Structure 1
Amino acid sequence: MADGSMPDIGSLELLVAVVRTGSISAAAREIGVTQQSASTRLRAIERQLGLALFHRTPSGTRPTLEGEVVASWADDVLAAAARFRAATRTLRGESTARLTVAASQTVSARLLPLWLVELRRQQLADGRTPTAVQLLSGNSTDAEALVRDGRADLAFIESSEVPSDLGSTTVDRDELALVVAPEHPWTATGPIAFETAATEPLVAREEGSGTRRAWEDEVRRRLGRDAAAPAVVLPTSAAVRSAVANGLGAAVLSRREAADDIRLGRLRAVRTTGDPVVRPITALWRGGARDLSASGRELIDVAVQTARAQAGRRTPAPQ
């Protein structure tokens, strides 16, 4: 039964780490506590919320559907806490440059943290005060709107459609993956025909999601018709991953977004015929190139450098 209290920030960090790693012991090492302490804190969270958040088995710890959803909400709380810490540093005079960044879910969860760490490293190495960054997370349509109405200085979206009324540049590319539960019939066959995947009602994000838009645009481009209407529409990538893992159906997700679940065996990636579906990661801002702020330009440069470095690690050296 819920006791009405709110889990502390450390407990939320532990919860998110367990969902990401699939292991209480791995999460405990990451957070810097003992496994026994981690297990005790997780059970305390479940009592506080009145929810069963995990399936505990000898092979590991798997989140329930409620656990996936609560973890996605915890991510939002942790992001807000980070913004609060950055804002208080600014008030103390520890930061002179500010940048409000809007980002789609894949970018905010998988890419932007790496960019911000590298941006801070470079600025400190140059003897400069790091930029204070405020993050606003939503879907790609939300991010576009936040830049357009002036609430964000810069946005990063993962959509195949780039608005013509904003300044833009491509900083990276992202592959989409068709994913299913391990016991799904598609895992026992060869590549699935792209047309078969396009005809299947998928578990999908809401309209405005860059992932959903990119998939639907690619179906129209290749087949000249619309993709099947979704079987279920869910508000977060975490909820989509959990629904698929529990056998609700197939989904198309960013391969980066699904990587941990694929590695842990919660999901299987199914190949489709034809070329992989790849969509751009695009930076947006108001005006032209001259209107981009210095701190925004610096973050874009870091994003491009990071993408090139990762592409280099993925490409075998010539013999």
Structure 2
Amino acid sequence: MSLPPGTPDLEVLDLLMSVAELGSLGAAARRHGMSQPAASMRISALERRLNLRLVDRGRTGSVLTDAGQTVVELGRPVLAAAVALGEGIAALRHAARPSLRVVASTTIADHRIPHWLNALRKIHPDLAVTLAVANSRQVAAAVTDREAALGFVEGPHPPTGLGSRVLAADELVVVVSPTHPWATRRRALTARELADTPLLWREKGSGTRDTVWQTLEIHGTPAPPAAELGSAAAILATARSGAAPAVVSRLIVAHELRAGTLHEVRLADSIALARKFRAIWHRRTPPEGPAADLVELAARIESARVRPR
């Protein structure tokens, strides 16, 4: 199929439609990112091509002639089809683009994933990565249900029934407001004292909560929470107020400790407050391609981060 001679160019047809809608060559030119003289020249070229007068130019604006109105009406379905064609081609490109869906716990998503994804983009620049954030229990459920190809969790033990790889250890610290009595104590805090104290806890399913609970329950059932909060930011803000101590990742509290807005409490040597960062996946579909690359890059980056310099 070949187009008949004189078929208008789609861009100039779109420009003519803008003149009809806006009633001004100048306004149409601005919409299309060109000067008014350039727009006028393109409309004039179209008029010569069609051998029709399309626009009456006046001091108060531009008005389409009857022929111009007819060309615009005939052109509407053509332009709509062109838009649909462009959207369809874009969808095809998107479908063909490699993608990876990842879900990660909050601490990892906020403080580690950006470094890992930056490294991944260097070797997979066209990869579309979708990142969801949840607590560790929800991450494990998403991977189990195949809602994500890869998950990253924090906690003392790997989730049951999933493949996993330890990427790094994450130190947890006890922090209090500078006005809290623990801020000036000289004696190290014992596990029994920590277990008997109402703390600021994350919600159930959090990797931090599971780690602290399992560490403290060896010394007896931990005291009821002073508060249960849904984010690390809320815990830090509440701890700053002096309401209660909190146990958080050193990653998220480092700037507060440097600024002096929170104080780290020294722990007895018998307390080992640490958790593991893990990559997790469905056992039937171990990571391959970009997913495998992401796990490997994360492990390398974390190893380099803790290696003595």
Does residue 174 of structure 1 match 2:170?
yes
Match of 1:183 among 179, 182, 186: 179
Please say if residues 238 and 244 of structure 2, whose CA atoms lie closer than 8 Å, have aligned partners that are also in contact.
yes
What are the ranges of 5 or more consecutive residues in structure 1 without an aligned counterpart? Answer: 1-88
Alpha-carbon distance, 1:211 to partner? 0.2
- Which residue number corresponds to residue 38 of structure 1? none
- Which residue number corresponds to residue 96 of structure 1? 97
User: Tell me, what secondary structure is at the counterpart of 1:175?
Assistant: strand
Equivalent AA in structure 1 for residue 252 of structure 2? E
Please say if residues 95 and 130 of structure 1, whose CA atoms lie closer than 8 Å, have aligned partners that are also in contact.
no
Please say if residues 95 and 131 of structure 1, whose CA atoms lie closer than 8 Å, have aligned partners that are also in contact.
no
Does residue 205 of structure 1 match 2:205?
no
Structure 1 residues 284-295: aligned runs within 5 Å: 284-287=280-283, 291-295=286-290
- Which residue number corresponds to residue 60 of structure 1? none
Aligned residue pairs total 218
Equivalent AA in structure 2 for residue 114 of structure 1? H
Alpha-carbon distance, 1:159 to partner? 1.3
Please say if residues 155 and 285 of structure 1, whose CA atoms lie closer than 8 Å, have aligned partners that are also in contact.
yes
1:153 to 1:196, Cα distance in 2 relative to 1, 3 A: same
Match of 1:260 among 255, 260, 279: 255
User: Tell me, what secondary structure is at the counterpart of 1:272?
Assistant: coil
Does residue 116 of structure 1 match 2:117?
yes
How far apart in 1 are the matches of 2:153 and 2:254?
A: 19
Structure 1 residues 119-158: aligned runs within 5 Å: 119-121=120-122, 123=123, 128-158=124-154
How far apart in 2 are the matches of 1:292 and 1:207?
A: 28
- Which residue number corresponds to residue 293 of structure 2? 298
If you compute each CA radius of gyration, which structure gives the higher value, 1 or 2? 2
Alpha-carbon distance, 1:91 to partner? 6.9
With normalisation by structure 2, the TM-score equals: 0.67
Structure 1 residues 106-149: Cα deviation after superposition (integer angstroms, max 9, x where no partner): 0000110111111112x1xxxx5342111110110111111111
Please say if residues 203 and 230 of structure 1, whose CA atoms lie closer than 8 Å, have aligned partners that are also in contact.
yes
How far apart in 1 are the matches of 2:275 and 2:300?
A: 18
Does residue 282 of structure 1 match 2:283?
no
With normalisation by structure 1, the TM-score equals: 0.65
What are the ranges of 5 or more consecutive residues in structure 2 without an aligned counterpart? Answer: 1-89
Structure 1 residues 217-256: aligned runs within 5 Å: 217-221=214-218, 223=219, 225-256=220-251
How far apart in 2 are the matches of 1:91 and 1:189?
A: 64
Alpha-carbon distance, 1:294 to partner? 1.6
Alpha-carbon distance, 1:260 to partner? 1.6
- Which residue number corresponds to residue 29 of structure 1? none
Equivalent AA in structure 1 for residue 109 of structure 2? S
User: Tell me, what secondary structure is at the counterpart of 1:291?
Assistant: coil
Structure 1 residues 270-319: Cα deviation after superposition (integer angstroms, max 9, x where no partner): 1110244111111111115x63232111111111011111111xx25xxx
Please say if residues 181 and 266 of structure 1, whose CA atoms lie closer than 8 Å, have aligned partners that are also in contact.
yes
Please say if residues 99 and 131 of structure 1, whose CA atoms lie closer than 8 Å, have aligned partners that are also in contact.
yes
Identity across aligned pairs (percent)? 32
